């Protein structure tokens, strides 16, 4: 029979804590004693006693026998003596400080002991504050099921309790659970507050859950949560832009009384994500009319300039950054390096790299990027080897770039070695790393290994599906790639602008005119506006097969985009 968490910890507290309120030991002057983790680990968790064996008297003074001012742990003294040594009155503020100190020092065992004391003295499961603190504590250590059990066994649940659960799921990368608990919270009659709204909107954007996002937006307007809340407005703009609804994001921005820098950054990123790069760059001009762009705005604008090869605007931003003393900020320097390399000025990138004395992983990665963008793959490989001789370990972004280089050079053996590093360092949960793995195996012609990587990913986003579609295209499995798009949609994953670009390119290579039209028209269902790249692919395909009148329609469409 399943034992409840409270009864288990209650029994544990009985076996470890023998309270003797009349003991002369308690009458002594308190000493700066502290808890011992080592002694606690000697007590087996398997000891269980039925909860009724320890009746709780409500009139008993609620005391926690721990010395609150001392937050370091002395491993030389026994836990039993320490907990009995002091009799500090327990209150919510003090308990929160205990839990925070345990979390900061990674002392989960100390948290277990305090949990047991709370149960023994009758604080649980009735205290909402204590329960919320414990939920946050267990989530911090990744103990998801323990956090759930504390939540399930609590007598009362307020907005803070629900917030602890939702925030915990988000921090532990469990977005679907977070959204599920939002639904349960609303069904329970609780109202979302501004903090919860700012937590869940990025999750909604990540999953392109437009309908849920619009419902949350309607709730925000109805309850006036966004009044004077720049964080909520920025989160709404960001959510709509991530869902491909940049027009709605702009409407939220312009309807705001206070347009924050974060909102402008979200609009810029949103335009860039759907391929509307010129409008993204224009956003920086609009922004300057009312704001002084900061480091984040500059770092957001430079990659957009790089992607559209807007060298003139990039140089203007470089001059602006120098004038306002934003250099040598790492994110700006690295973005400038990539910009100049994309515009064919690799020597400028090298000068910036040499100019910075203290280089970190970001700058090394930017230098790799610069050579990759210039098509100088072997030089990029040399930078990778030089970086490996330093004390800097490649992060997920660097690993992704390394895999990209391996794919371009068809270095399957080196790619497998990097794959081993990915598995060893548990980077497979990072979607862009897994996507680059799939791309690498696809470009190397081993699509079956790309499929194995794909199958091993539990939650597949649009990036992962798009990577496998491209891998099939590299192997000339054109029909399989198109079928994969249909499978992606049937599995509830919304394709993005890059997915459609990949599939249309496959239709172009395979000469599948009818499929290309069907897929192009499918974009409107997902509120994705056709970009210049989409139209160019269609023009190339149609002119090759003599359908000039239809190709002319796409030429006019490009003109309207400009």
* Band of pLDDT at residue 562, cut at 50, 70 and 90: low
| Cα–Cα distance, 297 to 276 (Å, whole number) | 17
**Where is average pLDDT lowest: 90-104, 271-285, 424-438, 510-524?**
90-104
Top-confidence range, 4-18, 37-51, 271-285, 318-332: 318-332
Query: What separation, in Å, do the N-terminal and C-terminal C-alpha atoms of the chain show?
Result: 68
3-state secondary structure of 267: helix
Predicted confidence (pLDDT) per residue in 388-402, tens digit? 788 888 888 888 988
Question: Does residue 223 contact residue 196 with C-beta atoms inside 8 Å?
Answer: no
* Band of pLDDT at residue 454, cut at 50, 70 and 90: very high
| Cα–Cα distance, 172 to 145 (Å, whole number) | 12
- 309: alpha, beta or left, given left = phi > 0 and alpha = psi -120 to 50? left
Beta-ladder partners of 64: 88
Q: How many CB atoms lie within 10 A of CB 63?
A: 16
Residue of 120 and 211 predicted with greater confidence:
211
Q: Is residue 453 scored above 60 in pLDDT?
A: yes
3-state secondary structure of 69: coil
pLDDT for 122 equals 64
Cα distances (angstroms) measured from residue 400 to each of 369, 437, 467: 11, 8, 13
Beta-ladder partners of 89: 63
Supply the mean pLDDT for the chain: 75
Question: Does residue 389 contact residue 359 with C-beta atoms inside 8 Å?
Answer: no
Overall average pLDDT of the 236-245 stretch: 81
Predicted confidence (pLDDT) per residue in 29-76, tens digit? 433 333 333 333 333 322 222 232 333 333 333 333 333 333 333 433
3-state secondary structure of 63: strand
Contacts of residue 23, defined as CB under 8 A and 6 or more positions apart, other chains included, come to 84
pLDDT for 262 equals 67
Overall average pLDDT of the 89-116 stretch: 63
Instruction: Please give the helix or strand (H or E) that residue 347 lies within, else none.
Output: helix 346-355
- CA torsion, ordered 249, 253, 254, 260, to nearest 10 deg: -160
3-state secondary structure of 89: strand
DSSP string across 189-207:
TPPP-HHHHHHHHHHHHHT
Residue of 54 and 556 predicted with greater confidence:
556
| Cα–Cα distance, 342 to 432 (Å, whole number) | 21
Instruction: Please give the helix or strand (H or E) that residue 88 lies within, else none.
Output: strand 88-89
3-state secondary structure of 356: coil
Nearest-Å Rg of the Cα atoms of the chain is: 29
pLDDT for 500 equals 93
Residue of 200 and 467 predicted with greater confidence:
467
Q: Is residue 22 scored above 80 in pLDDT?
A: no
pLDDT for 492 equals 84
- 445: alpha, beta or left, given left = phi > 0 and alpha = psi -120 to 50? left
pLDDT for 538 equals 92
Predicted confidence (pLDDT) per residue in 414-440, tens digit? 899 889 989 988 888 888 899 999 999
What is the percent of the chain where pLDDT is above 90? 13
Tokens of 317: 């931003």
List Cβ<8 Å contacts ≥24 apart for 226-232: 226/256, 228/257, 228/258, 229/194, 230/256, 230/258, 230/260, 230/262, 230/263, 231/194, 231/198, 231/262, 232/194, 232/197, 232/198, 232/201
Question: Does residue 329 contact residue 360 with C-beta atoms inside 8 Å?
Answer: no
pLDDT for 457 equals 87
Question: Does residue 481 contact residue 509 with C-beta atoms inside 8 Å?
Answer: no
Whole-structure pTM value: 0.51
């Amino acid at each position: 029979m399943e034992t409840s968490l409270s009864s288990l910890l209650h029994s544990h507290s009985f076996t470890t804590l023998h309270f003797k309120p009349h003991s002369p030991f308690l009458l002594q002057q308190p000493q700066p004693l502290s808890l011992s983790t080592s002694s606690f680990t000697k007590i087996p968790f398997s000891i269980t006693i039925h909860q009724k064996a320890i009746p709780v008297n409500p009139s008993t003074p609620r005391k926690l026998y721990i010395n609150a001012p001392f937050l370091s742990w002395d491993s030389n003294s026994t836990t039993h003596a320490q907990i009995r040594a002091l009799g500090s009155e327990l209150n919510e503020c003090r308990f929160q400080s205990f839990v925070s100190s345990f979390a900061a020092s990674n002392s989960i065992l100390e948290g277990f002991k305090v949990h047991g004391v709370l149960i023994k003295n009758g604080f649980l499961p009735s205290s909402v504050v204590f329960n919320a603190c414990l939920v946050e504590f267990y989530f911090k250590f990744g103990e998801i099921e323990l956090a759930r059990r504390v939540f399930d066994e609590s007598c009362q649940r307020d907005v803070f309790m629900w917030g602890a659960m939702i925030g915990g799921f988000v921090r532990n990368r469990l977005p679907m659970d977070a959204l599920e608990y939002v639904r349960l919270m609303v069904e329970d009659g609780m109202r979302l507050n501004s903090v919860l709204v700012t937590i869940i909107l990025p999750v909604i954007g990540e999953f392109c859950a437009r309908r849920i996002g619009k419902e949350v937006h309607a709730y925000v307007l109805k309850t006036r949560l966004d009044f004077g809340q720049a964080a909520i407005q920025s989160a709404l703009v960001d959510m709509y832009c991530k869902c491909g609804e940049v027009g709605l994001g702009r409407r939220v921005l312009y309807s705001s009384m206070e347009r924050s820098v974060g909102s402008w950054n979200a609009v810029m990123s949103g335009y860039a994500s759907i391929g509307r790069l010129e409008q993204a760059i224009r956003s920086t001009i609009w922004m300057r009319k009312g704001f002084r762009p900061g480091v984040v705005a500059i770092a957001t604008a430079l990659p957009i300039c790089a992607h559209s090869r807007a060298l003139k605007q990039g140089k203007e931003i470089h001059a602006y950054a120098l004038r306002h003393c934003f250099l040598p900020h790492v994110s700006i320097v690295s973005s400038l390096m990539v910009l100049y390399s994309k515009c064919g000025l690799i020597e400028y990138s090298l000068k910036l790299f040499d100019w910075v004395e203290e280089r970190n992983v970001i700058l090394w990665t930017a230098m790799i990027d610069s050579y990759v963008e210039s098509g100088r793959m072997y030089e990029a490989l040399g930078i990778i080897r030089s970086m490996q001789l330093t004390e800097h370990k490649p992060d997920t972004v660097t690993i992704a770039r390394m895999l990209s280089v391996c794919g371009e050079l068809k270095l399957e053996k080196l790619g497998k070695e990097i794959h081993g590093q990915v598995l060893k360092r548990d980077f497979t949960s990072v979607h862009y790393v897994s996507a680059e793995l799939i791309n690498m195996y696809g470009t190397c012609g081993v699509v079956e290994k790309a499929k194995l990587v794909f199958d091993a990913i539990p939650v597949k986003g649009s990036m992962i599906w798009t990577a496998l579609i491209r891998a099939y295209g590299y192997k000339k499995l054109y029909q399989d790639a198109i079928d994969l798009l249909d499978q992606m949609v049937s599995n509830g994953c919304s394709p993005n602008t890059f997915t459609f670009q990949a599939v249309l390119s496959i239709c172009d290579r395979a000469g599948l005119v009818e499929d290309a039209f069907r897929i192009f028209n499918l974009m409107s269902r997902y509120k994705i506006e056709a970009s210049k790249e989409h139209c160019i692919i269609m023009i190339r395909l149609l002119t090759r097969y003599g359908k000039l009148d239809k190709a002319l329609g796409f030429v006019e469409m490009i003109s309207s985009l400009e």
